Structure 1
Amino acid sequence: MTDSIENIGLMIRNERLRKGLTQEELGKRIGVGKAQISKIESGKGLTIKTITKVLDALGMSAS
């Protein structure tokens, strides 16, 4: 399970970088700070609600 969560974080990080966004910019889009984005990208603090917000901000779908 931990590997899957870390993979989600890595996918989020890769997409953020592909779109040219900083952690701070992505955080502003979803209403959290840079430190929280760092945690999300490392697979920590992930909830369905958080993942959904991040995916929406990046223009991605859960599928």
Structure 2
Amino acid sequence: MWSFSLSELAIPGAEVGRISASDTDVGENARLEYTILEGETGDTFNITGVNQEAVIVLNK
């Protein structure tokens, strides 16, 4: 589990944090999925994952 802090003055598009994970599997079994499970709901944050890293940004 990861935890990040963000200033109330942060502007939309600001990077909140980066996370990464690794898996020794290959192919489809090595696919990772990142999701925001708790806390802020709606469209406040966006998380996008590429390969083994994900970036969380402030939407609004």
Identify, as 1 or 2, the structure richer in helix: 1
Identify, as 1 or 2, the structure richer in strand: 2
Query: Rg bigger for which structure?
Result: 2
**TM over 0.5, yes or no?**
no
TM-score by length of 1: 0.19
